[in-house]
């Protein structure tokens, strides 16, 4: 296992401490590292809390700040955060308007966020993301998995929350964005969970895992390595068929790296996907490209397409100031 690490047991705490150190003006680390939250809250705004297993960085901690999340709960690598972490985060960011939870559709996450919602006294609503079209159920999920599209949901909700929208309206918006967002990924290599010390799966030098999940869990099938154009073709066509965007709808294309794939390849995939979308007459109104929702050091990428409402474009464009996503004014 080749990683910058002291011991698997201290990886997460060292990494969280480093994150809090590097972004001291922006975030604070909760007691016992239960959560990371904005350094300064906006009173009266609905709190936005997400979280999940670690190993997907910069998601979710990198999305904390003005215009996006209020807090995130980091579980151990690929392990759900505990209900008490989530309760602590909820209580830290509820300034009176309640808290919206954004939860990726994995059984452990859904269960623990639900439990926290029952325990806390705060008004709670929950948006469960399930944008992955690759499989209908998996090792860790009943129904589709929540993957990179979660970023789109969190960004749009974050902007809407800053506008002062109430909890019920945000819940409705988050569900709508999730329904209009579809993703599919492919892995070229495995990742290695530090506590395990060996690769999550074995894969040949000429193979790739089509439809892989963000924990290295199986996708649709193991196939021979193909050209970037052929890979983009399968990902984009599958996503498009499932999404079925209305003609002329402004779409957002997110080419997301899984951690081990460099930008030169991700931008090549933007071009490969873009050519296919051009052919279909899909209007790509916004692009986002980078390693945002990762699987540790896995080489691979996912392609997400979101068919945005015209009303959502200003929310996507709205100012955001987090460790990772920053734009606007």
The smaller minimum CB distance to a copy of itself, of residues 117 and 208, is found at 208
- Residue length, the chain? 329
Return the DSSP state at 246: P
Residues noted as catalytic: 56, 215
Angle at 8 between CA 87 and CA 110, to 5 degrees: 30
Strand 71-77 relative to strand 207-210, pairing: unpaired
The smaller minimum CB distance to a copy of itself, of residues 130 and 209, is found at 209
| First-last CA distance in the chain | 43
* Token code pair at residue 145: 């998995």
The smaller minimum CB distance to a copy of itself, of residues 174 and 259, is found at 259
Q: How far is the CB of 137 from a copy of itself (least distance, A)?
A: 27
In order of 86, 249, 250, the CA distances from 81 in angstroms are 7, 37, 35
The Cβ of residue 102 has, within 10 Å, a number of other Cβ atoms equal to 27
Q: How far is the CB of 301 from a copy of itself (least distance, A)?
A: 7
C-alpha 85, offset from chain centre: 19
The smaller minimum CB distance to a copy of itself, of residues 126 and 324, is found at 324
3-state helix, strand, coil in the chain (%, to 5): 35, 25, 40
Closest CA to 171 of 321, 47, 38, 322: 47
The smaller minimum CB distance to a copy of itself, of residues 176 and 266, is found at 266
Q: How far is the CB of 41 from a copy of itself (least distance, A)?
A: 21
Give the burial class of 243: count Cβ atoms within 10 A of its Cβ; 0-12 exposed, 13-18 middle, 19 or more buried: buried
Q: Which residues would be at the binding site for a copy of itself (CB under 8 A)?
A: 2-6, 11-12, 14-19, 21-23, 54-55, 57-58, 62, 77, 188-189, 205, 208, 225, 227-229, 231, 259-272, 274, 287-289, 291, 294, 296-297, 299, 301, 321, 326-327, 329
Are 129 and 56 within 8 A, CB to CB?
no
Q: How far is the CB of 293 from a copy of itself (least distance, A)?
A: 11
The smaller minimum CB distance to a copy of itself, of residues 164 and 328, is found at 328
Q: Which residues, other chains included, contact 305 with Cβ-Cβ below 8 Å and sequence gap of 6+?
A: 181, 182, 183, 236, 239, 240, 243, 245, 251, 252, 253, 254, 277, 282
Return the DSSP state at 188: S
Q: How far is the CB of 23 from a copy of itself (least distance, A)?
A: 7
Q: How far is the CB of 208 from a copy of itself (least distance, A)?
A: 8
The smaller minimum CB distance to a copy of itself, of residues 173 and 231, is found at 231
Q: How far is the CB of 57 from a copy of itself (least distance, A)?
A: 4
* Token code pair at residue 297: 């050091």
C-alpha to C-alpha distance for 283 and 280, rounded to whole angstroms: 9
């Amino acid at each position: 296992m080749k990683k910058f690490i002291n011991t698997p047991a201290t990886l997460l705490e060292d990494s969280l401490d480093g994150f809090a150190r590097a972004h001291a003006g922006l975030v604070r680390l909760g007691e016992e590292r239960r959560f990371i939250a904005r350094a300064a809250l906006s009173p009266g705004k609905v709190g936005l809390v997400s979280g999940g297993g670690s190993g997907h960085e910069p998601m979710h901690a990198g999305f904390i700040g003005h215009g996006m999340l209020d807090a995130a709960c980091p579980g151990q690598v690929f392990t759900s955060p505990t209900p008490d972490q989530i309760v602590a985060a909820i209580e830290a960011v509820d300034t009176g308007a309640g808290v919206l939870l954004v939860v990726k559709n994995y059984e452990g996450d859904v269960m623990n966020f639900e439990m926290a919602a029952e325990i806390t006294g705060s008004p709670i609503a929950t948006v469960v993301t399930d944008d992955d079209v690759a499989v209908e159920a998996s090792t860790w999920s009943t129904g589709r998995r929540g993957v990179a599209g979660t970023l789109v949901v969190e960004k749009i909700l974050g902007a809407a929350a800053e506008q002062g929208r109430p909890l019920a309206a945000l819940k409705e918006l988050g569900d709508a964005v999730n329904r209009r967002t579809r993703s599919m990924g492919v892995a070229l290599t495995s990742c290695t969970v530090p506590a395990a010390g060996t690769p999550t799966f074995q894969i040949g030098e000429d193979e790739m895992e089509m439809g892989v999940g963000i924990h290295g869990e199986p996708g649709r099938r193991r196939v021979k390595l193909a050209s970037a154009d052929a890979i983009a073709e399968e990902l984009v066509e599958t996503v498009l068929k499932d999404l079925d965007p209305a003609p002329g709808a402004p779409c957002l294309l997110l080419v997301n790296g899984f951690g081990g794939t460099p930008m030169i390849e991700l931008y090549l995939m933007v071009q490969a996907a873009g050519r296919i979308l051009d052919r279909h007459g899909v209007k790509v109104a916004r692009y986002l490209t980078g390693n945002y929702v990762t699987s540790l050091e896995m080489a691979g990428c996912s392609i997400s397409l979101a068919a945005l409402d015209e009303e959502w474009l200003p929310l996507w464009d709205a100012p955001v100031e987090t460790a990772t996503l920053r734009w606007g004014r």
